Amino acid sequence: MASRAKNFMVEKDMKNVEGVMVTLTPDNKLRVQSSRHGPDGCRQNTVELLKRESRWVFENPSLGVLDYRVLGTNFKDYAVIFTQLEFGDEAFNTVELYSRTEMASHKAMQLFTKWSQGLGFKSHQQAQLQKDLTCAHKIFQFSGFWYIIAIATDTQGFLPARDKRKLGASVVKVHKTGQLKVVIAFSRPQGCQSMEVTLTKDRKKPVFRNTLKGVKGFHVLSTDYTYGLVYLRLGRAGNNYKSLLLFNSCAHMILP
């Protein structure tokens, strides 16, 4: 991170990695959700930015965001973001490196260095944030787009012939507190089929369900937020099925 904020030099050695989730709304606004460490613990914030005529430039002056733009990205692993902010009588700008992995790639770091130095940030105005992910992980909660790269299921007739199997996909979003909106899509012999359902969290267990829609359980067994192992239980009218899904943020995964 690079910043010209007045208190950045004092606080930079104590700043932890932040979590950010960026989504484009149906009305073409950019929703930026963030979770960062503050004096009173993890602080979460959501802002919606309005699109300018330029392709990757957004703003919301009423909230102090004068400019939010993507300087560079590979659309898969990382992005370098420039922001121009104004809060009260202080105006400053920042350059941040967003990474989908805890350790940013060498190429991502090179791009960040290129832009921060090119925009005139001095060494004391830059910092690599502390790798305490406690607050960063709170914003994710398994949200986002996932490829489904492997599946084990007892659902009869679900798996196509080996030479016709294609990747599935899923989008998981926090609908509101205690609820997830989940879309799962698979390629079937009759074409692409998808299911969209809103799930509610169990009061005692880390499981989401919607029995009226036939979803008895959606349980994330393991994840590091780049992959997820999901146990899905479906059932209706006396028929019950179990599936184990391997979600991954990329379309391929290196297996041992």
Read off the pLDDT of residues 144-202 as tens digits, 9 standing for 90 and up.
Answer: 889 999 889 888 766 666 666 678 899 998 777 778 899 999 877 677 888 899 999 89
Q: Which of 44-58, 152-166, 202-216 has the highest mean pLDDT?
A: 202-216
Cα–Cα dist 97/82, whole Å = 9
In a domain, 179, yes or no: yes
Angle, CA of 10, 16 and 20, to the nearest 5°: 120
Specify if 182 maps to a domain. Answer: yes
Question: Picking from 51-55, 57-61, 156-160, 187-191, which range would have the lowest pLDDT averaged per residue?
Answer: 156-160
Rounded Cα–Cα distance for residues 140 and 225 (Å): 8
* Structural domains in the chain (count): 2
Q: What is the pLDDT of residue 138?
A: 63
Domain range spanning residue 89? 2-139
Among left, alpha and beta (phi > 0; psi -120 to 50; other), residue 62 is: alpha
β-pair type (144-153, 168-176): antiparallel
Nearest to 137 by CA among 225, 205, 228: 225
Token pair belonging to 144: 């986002």
Helices (H), 25-64: none
Tell me whether residue 232 is in a domain.
yes
- Considering the domain architecture, whether residues 152 and 133 belong to the same structural domain is answered as no
Residue 209 CA to residue 225 CA, distance in Å, equals: 21
One-letter identity of residue 192: C
Domain with residue 95: its CATH number is 2.40.128.20
61/239 Cα distance (integer angstroms): 54
Nearest-CA neighbor of 94 among 110, 63, 71, 60? Answer: 71
Q: Is the pLDDT of residue 255 over 60?
A: no
Q: Decide if pLDDT at 140 tops 70.
A: no
Q: Is residue 253 part of a domain?
A: no
> Which class for 106: exposed (0-12), middle (13-18), buried (19 or more C-beta within 10 A)?
exposed
* The predicted structure's pLDDT at residue 129: 85
Are 85 and 171 part of one and the same domain? Answer: no
Residues 78 and 191 in one domain: no
Rg of the Cα trace of the chain?
A: 21
